[in-house]
């Protein structure tokens, strides 16, 4: 039987990353990695759905990853009371309320903060080793955006 090695565990082992208290990380540090994780999962989905020119892949990806879309996604997830746990809601709120000195070029500050909260949640789950939960939430996000078309 082959054991499953996650990307996270491979990175930690290869680069001798020590164990950390993920809950103590700043929300913006979690959002930083969460943004990349979300982008990577979405890009994987887009590429796996169809092999096409890079500019078409980019256009398809943007509809899921732009701040406005992420804001709509988290509002949808929060509206459905049974989707996010209390812990996940608290992590989201920490990210949403974090004081950031940057903002998205094409998004309102409200959308940007909600998107930051969503990315914070994904970063937290990823670093906690809960990749299945990340994929589950991204599936709900993709289904929500796709249903709007």
Q: Enumerate residue ranges in the chain where pLDDT < 70.
A: 1-5
Residue 96 lies in a domain: yes
What's the number of domains the chain is made of? 1
d(CA 149, CA 145): 7
Is 35 marked active-site? yes
Closest CA to 31 of 109, 105, 113, 90: 113
- Taking a C-beta distance cutoff of 8 angstroms, is the pair 114, 71 a contact? yes
Residue 15 lies in a domain: no
Residue 7 lies in a domain: no
Which pLDDT value is given to residue 19? Answer: 82
Which pLDDT value is given to residue 75? Answer: 98
Closest CA to 133 of 148, 123, 144, 143: 123
- Taking a C-beta distance cutoff of 8 angstroms, is the pair 75, 96 a contact? no
Q: What is the CATH number of the domain that holds 69?
A: 1.10.1520.10
Question: Which tens digit of pLDDT belongs to each residue from 81-108?
Answer: 899 999 999 999 999 999 887 777 789 9
Q: Which domain holds residue 53?
A: 36-147
Residue 17 lies in a domain: no
Residue 144, judged by CB atoms within 10 A of its CB (0-12, 13-18, 19+), counts as middle
Report the run of H or E that residue 10 belongs to, with start and end.
helix 7-14
Which pLDDT value is given to residue 69? Answer: 98
Reported pTM? 0.92
The two structure tokens encoding residue 145: 């955006």
Of 35, 39, 111, 146, which residue is the catalytic one? 35
């Amino acid at each position: 039987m082959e054991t499953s090695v996650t990307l996270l565990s491979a990175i930690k082992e290869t680069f001798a990353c020590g164990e950390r208290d993920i809950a103590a990380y700043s929300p913006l540090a979690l959002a930083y990695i969460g943004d990349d994780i979300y982008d990577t999962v979405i890009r994987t989905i887009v590429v796996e759905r169809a092999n096409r020119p890079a500019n078409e892949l980019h256009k398809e990806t943007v509809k899921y990853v732009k701040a406005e879309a992420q804001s709509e996604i988290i509002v949808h997830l929060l509206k459905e009371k049974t989707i996010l746990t209390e812990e996940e809601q608290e992590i989201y709120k920490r990210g949403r309320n974090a004081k950031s000195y940057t903002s998205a070029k094409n998004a309102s500050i409200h959308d940007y903060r909600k998107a930051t909260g969503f990315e914070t949640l994904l970063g937290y789950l990823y670093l906690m080793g809960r990749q299945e939960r990340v994929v589950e939430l991204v599936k709900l996000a993709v289904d929500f955006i796709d249903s709007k078309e």
